[in-house]
Amino acid sequence: MNTNFTIRLDGTLKRTLDKLAKATGRSRAFLAQDALRQYLEEQAWQVAEIKKAVKEADAGDFATDTEVDATLAKWGVNAR
């Protein structure tokens, strides 16, 4: 079910949206909905991962020094 939702955009953002709509042949509504969907999915994933990490930390589930060193070595980072 579709419903209406109104937002205020600054002029620059609206012009950018208009240009993209014209270039892609899509409506502004389609592009705005697609962008909002992607943003919300990303934010929901990030919040879930943060909650998961906090739960692990609260349980004392941390990487050992050896695991950290192995990861840093894998990526060629010398942070110590």
Positions of the chain with pLDDT under 70: 78-80
pLDDT of residue 1: 87
CA atoms within 13 A on the CB side of 54: 6
What does R_g of the chain's alpha carbons equal in angstroms? 21
CA distance 52 to 44: 12
Those residues with Cβ within 8 angstroms of residue 68's Cβ, 6 or more apart along the chain or in another chain: none
Q: Is residue 69 part of a domain?
A: yes
Structural domain boundaries, residue 54: 11-74
pLDDT of residue 2: 86
Q: In the prediction, which pLDDT does 80 show?
A: 54
Q: Which tokens belong to 53?
A: 């990490």
Q: Is 35 a member of any domain?
A: yes
In a domain, 5, yes or no: no
Q: Is residue 37 domain-resident?
A: yes
- Asked if the structure places residue 56 within a domain, the reply is yes
In a domain, 18, yes or no: yes
Identify the pLDDT of residue 79. 57
Number of domains in the chain: 1
> Do the domain assignments include residue 2?
no
